[in-house]
Chain A
Amino acid sequence: MQEDGLALDRLEVWHGDAPLVALDAHVAPGEVLSVMGPSGSGKSTLLAAIIGTLAPAFRVRGHIRLDGREIGALPPEARRVGILFQEELLFPHLSVAGNLGFGLPPSVRGRAERAARIEAALDEIGLAGFGPRDPDTLSGGQKARVALMRMLLAEPRALLLDEPFSRLDAGRRDQMRRLVFARAAARGLPVLLVTHDREDAAAAGGRVIELG
């Protein structure tokens, strides 16, 4: 059975002998599924399980499939699941272009070709010419856009969002939401959004699941 998108098939995360969080859902390409819950309801644990960075003390039951392929046993770097956090987490030791280059797959060869791709990506988010800048000198909204573009350049097959808009001020938040959802939809990515902000879920426009 070939199913496109992100399938969480009776996914459960256990710590010791207690289940922390469970979710059974399918997110189709281009769809946004919002998962709501108060802090401590295991939202971040759930995302870590999907991208594969859970601490070994946790156990995962059930299946995670991406475009029909089981990815639950793959190392994080092979899963092709992108993630955006509340903080931008740009690498402070790399330039803006360096951060984008970190995301760009090595299959894009040649210094000139890579530089051109990076410049085009910067142009796409309205930051043309920002390549050599120190990421720490960017505004919050600019950093958020670079973080998004860095993720998209890595060509993920699904996108996870961990309250990515809560640090932005009201005006920028709306702008950023639209940008993220539009880019994800344009690439046909299934998006899983975890948030405690009803507005985020409403703006996403898709189904909403309540946790805990």
Chain B
Amino acid sequence: MRPLRLAPALTLALMLGPVLAGLVGTLLPAIGVLPALGGSTPGLGPLKALAGWPGLAGALWLSVVPGLAATALSLGIVTLFVAGWQGGRAFAALERALAPLLAVPHAAAAFGLAFLIAPSGWIARALSPWATGWMRPPDLLIVQDPWGLAMVMGLVAKEVPFLFLMTLAALPQARPAQRLTLARALGYGRVTGWLKAVFPAVYAQVRLPVYAVLAYSMTVVDVAIILGPGTPPPLAVQVVRWMADPDLSLRFLAAAGAAAQLALVIAALGLWRLGELGLGALGRRWAEAGRRRHGEGALQAAGLALATLSALAVIGGLLGLAVWSVAGFWGFPDILPDALSTKSWLRHAPALAGPTVETIVIAAAATGMALALTVACLEAEHRFGLSPGARSLWLLYLPLLVPQVAFLPGLQTFALVAGADMGRGAVILGHLVFVLPYVFLSLAAPWRAWDARHAQVAAALGAGPARVLWTVRLPMLLAPLLTAAAVGCAVSVGQYLPTLLIGAGRVQTLTTEAVALASGGDRRIIGVTALAQTALAAAGFALALAAPRLVWRNRRALRGA
């Protein structure tokens, strides 16, 4: 079983190798070293050039402030909602809505939100003309506003479901029912009691996901292109623009920008950590001060309203995409189009067939590899009694903490130097870096929770390790395996930057196509493309839900899983 023993090392190499290589490939040109483009002596040239770029202050600001704001808001909404509603009916309802919300790719959610809040969007239409008096879309810069507010909203709408999922996973270990009962028996209100008695234990568990949200929100490119300001854009978007410039000398500037972005994320994570310590100290004083209630009703209502709003932003946005994709003539301020037609779908379907197939091939390949590696790692852990420490969790989160824009340009640069053709295969390996952590995180808990005495019984019945794996463990874990695969597919389908940068613009998926449409503003084709993108991600989850019920329709113990 030697190959199995090597699985953890191989997995780490495939996951972290590209990240580390990419960082080197980014940092060297940032100090002027890129022999292929004539840079051979290290120097501060590129960094000086970056400092001289007039948009720098704005670009930095648009990375830090919306990033911190989106993270704090998402965490706050999730915390307030869980504090006020855990165990209740509203909680169960949002829990059910979670998988579909998570499946919606960032770009599609961002387009959907734009369709809601734009001056000619659904909200303005619903209020016009009776409340606003508008007979024409007002000349307001709501989407792509210079402060990045729309971008923050788009990020929050997608990060709330993610942090909610992570909180759900962390909750059982915090023993919330006992702690909350205890606090309430001491006279604490529901929300105050939860915040004082349960939250600290939960936060300790969701810290890494929160860091990942912060790093992501600061450096997101697709959402920023769709909802964020353009002049100047957030730093990550500007780096991508420089990378795409035909003037190759701008690669040095791009590398300097990427290096600056990396430093900025590290600094922001440090700042967040300091904030944790400070708020932690304040929180302990608050808990020890013993006040029992702080406007419980209002806090509960706020938690529910904000969580519902963020869910509606995604669901309403999808509806908007759907209606636009079948809209005939749709004048302002009509709430619905005059006529519905399949014309947009029929017209754009042929052009989208290629990217759709490409998306599926890449997602299937990356997910298949991730699933095989994850199963191999977990099985090695089981057979050889390896015990993963806290450090391995950090390693798993590393690809989610290092900004994509900080290491993907480096990979492209390496390809440039090597003269390699970065085609679909390279893009698949690039997706694998991000698909792996999610597949692993999704599968590890159910895999480890499996009652290993089944393996003991099977061995006592004469079954070797391979037979136990293939005929007992994998079939019994079919549902979690498929869920992990669906998560992996959704992550792959949603990837923008790895496809764009590693594919050097030549690998076109539904996501790159959709984001490329952002500047055009043809809502019908945007609706069609973003909806097709969402459908692919959602199809995976639907399959993962339906298949075990079908396969195990006569096996009661496995149907519900």
Contacts and interface: CB of A to CB of B under 8 A. Distances in A.
Interface of A: 48, 51-53, 55-57, 75-83, 85, 87, 89, 91-93, 95, 102-103, 105, 134-137, 150-151, 154, 156
Contacts of B552: 93
11 contacts: A53-B459, A56-B385, A76-B459, A77-B462, A77-B463, A77-B464, A83-B460, A91-B454, A93-B475, A151-B457, A154-B462
Contact of B453 (A75, A85, A103, A136): A85
A93 B460 contact: no
A200 to B, nearest CB: 19
Contacts of B462: 77-78, 80, 103, 105, 154
B382 to A, nearest CB: 9
Nearest to B452: A53
Contact of A92 (B456, B459, B463, B557): B557
- By size class, the interface of chain B is 20 to 34
Contacts of A93: 472, 475-476, 478, 552, 555, 558
Contacts, number: 83
Interface string B413-456: 00000000000000000000000000000000000000101111
Contacts of A81: 460
Interface of B: 384-385, 451, 453-465, 471-472, 475-476, 478, 552, 554-558
Q: Is the interface of B mostly helix, strand, loop or mixed?
A: helix
Contacts of B384: 56
B451 A102 contact: no
Given A75-B464, A91-B472, A137-B556, A51 B459 contact: yes
A156 B454 contact: no
B556 A151 contact: no
Contact of B385 (A57, A102, A105): A57
A77 to B, nearest CB: 5
Contacts of A80: 462
Given A75-B459, A82-B460, A93-B478, 6 more contacts: A53-B459, A55-B385, A85-B456, A93-B475, A154-B460, A156-B460
Nearest to B454: A89
Contacts of A56: 384-385
Contacts of B476: 91-93
B48 to A, nearest CB: 56
Contact of A134 (B385, B471, B475, B554): B554
Contacts of A79: 460
A181 to B, nearest CB: 19
Given A77-B463, A105-B462, A137-B556, A83 B475 contact: no
Contacts of B457: 83, 85, 89, 151
Contacts of B453: 85, 87, 89
A76 B463 CA distance: 8
Contacts of A134: 554-557
A92 B558 contact: yes
A102 B457 CA distance: 11
A205 to B, nearest CB: 24
A76 B475 contact: no
A53 B464 contact: no
Contacts of A92: 476, 555, 557-558
Contact of A48 (B456, B461, B472): B456
Contacts of B456: 48, 51, 53, 76, 83, 85
Contacts of B458: 91, 102
- Ordered nearest first, which 10 A-B pairs have the shortest CB separation? A76-B459, A56-B385, A92-B557, A136-B557, A136-B556, A55-B385, A93-B475, A154-B461, A83-B460, A53-B456
A77 B459 contact: yes
A105 B556 CA distance: 27
A102 B556 contact: no
Nearest to A95: B554
Nearest to A162: B453
A63 to B, nearest CB: 20
